[in-house]
């Protein structure tokens, strides 16, 4: 299946309708279908055959702007089993883990399939994404979401139901993405799968998880010094000379940690920066 549909709207397309108040509705087009709102109905046939960016009017006279879904729009509106990875974090994973066309990527914790869509887009037709999910119900939701967005099964994607550490059968992979409650339990398996120079990227929600995964990566001995951060997204209101930050923002959603796989048998250089006094507890400080 293709990565992106072009041309006029066709039956089966997911169309985003935006009203004058910027309220958005998602419609899957079908011949003879009708979309009902409190401002009147819209016939699907009025959209089928029209180009993207068209304006269609409801029976009540309200204009709606029609576009196909962008992936960020689809990710936050898709049916959910587990929580989705928000676009701001998915974008950082793609950029900071350096997901490139042709990359061989392993993902553990498929959730609802949002990140999987971003990864498939990034690796392109020559790449490969293998997703491991322990829960069969989550895996099925993710499969439906991914196939709905791309319009059918993806040859570049393999979905495996099972524990990552037990089911992993990949080697010489370029990137490993861990989105789970206890990613530190999977560091050894990830190290064995990654090619030297490859990147491990972990997505966690709490500072306790952040601390444990960073320390596990340090102690493992196969990775460079971990880099950890979070991304905050703030919109701006712009009306003429009235330019100010929006009243709401997308704040904390999760922490990201990346590190690179070193060559087999290489010892990482000692850290030059000493930890703060008491960072590892009083026992470690006096021991």
65 is in an annotated binding site: no
What's the rounded Cα separation, in Å, for the pair 155 and 232? 34
Q: Does 98 belong to an annotated binding site?
A: no
CA end-to-end distance (rounded Å), the chain: 60
Centroid of chain to Cα 33: 32
Is 230 annotated as belonging to a binding site?
A: no
Locate tokens 């990137």: which residue? 175
The Cα-based distances of 32 to 42, 45, 65 in angstroms read 11, 6, 20
3-class secondary-structure state, position 27:
strand
Tokens representing 256 are: 């990201």
DSSP designation for 210: H
Task: Tell the residue number behind the tokens 């990147």, with chain if given.
Answer: 199
Token digits of residue 191: 């190290």
114 annotated among ligand-binding-site residues? yes
d(CA 27, CA 13): 8
The neighbouring-strand residues paired with 108 are 132, 178
Least Cα distance to 178 among 162, 190, 167 occurs for: 190
| 254 labeled binding residue | no
Q: Residue 242 to residues 40, 236, 238: CA-CA distances in angstroms? A: 34, 10, 6
Phi and psi at residue 87, to the nearest 5°: -55, -35
| Residue 131 marked as a ligand binder | no
Residues annotated within a binding site? 112-115, 133, 179
Residues in binding site for S-adenosyl-L-methionine: 112-115, 133, 179
């Amino acid at each position: 299946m293709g990565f992106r549909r072009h041309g006029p709207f066709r039956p089966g397309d997911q169309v985003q309708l935006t009203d004058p108040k910027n309220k958005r509705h998602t419609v899957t087009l079908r011949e003879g279908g009708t979309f009902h709102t409190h401002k009147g109905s819209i016939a699907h046939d009025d959209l089928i055959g029209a180009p993207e960016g068209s304006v269609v009017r409801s029976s009540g006279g309200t204009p709606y702007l029609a576009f196909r879904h962008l992936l960020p729009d689809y990710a936050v509106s898709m049916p959910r089993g587990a929580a989705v990875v928000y676009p701001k974090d998915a974008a950082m994973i793609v950029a900071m883990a350096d997901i490139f066309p042709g990359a061989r990527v392993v993902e553990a914790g498929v959730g609802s399939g949002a990140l999987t869509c971003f990864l498939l887009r990034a690796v392109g037709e020559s790449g490969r994404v293998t997703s491991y999910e322990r829960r069969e119900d989550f895996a099925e939701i993710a499969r439906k979401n991914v196939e709905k967005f791309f319009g059918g099964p993806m040859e570049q994607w393999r979905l495996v139901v099972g524990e990552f550490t037990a089911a992993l059968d990949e080697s010489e992979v370029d990137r490993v993405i861990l989105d789970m409650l206890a990613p530190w339990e999977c560091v050894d398996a990830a190290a064995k799968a990654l090619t030297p120079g490859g990147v491990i990227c972990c997505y966690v929600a709490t500072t306790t998880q952040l601390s444990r995964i960073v320390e596990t990566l340090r102690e493992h001995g196969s990775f460079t010094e971990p880099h950890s951060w979070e991304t905050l997204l703030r919109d701006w209101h712009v009306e003429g000379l009235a330019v100010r930050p929006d009243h709401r923002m997308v704040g904390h959603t999760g922490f990201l940690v990346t590190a690179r796989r070193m060559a087999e048998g290489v010892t990482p250089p000692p850290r030059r920066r000493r930890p703060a006094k008491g960072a590892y507890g009083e026992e470690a400080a006096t021991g």
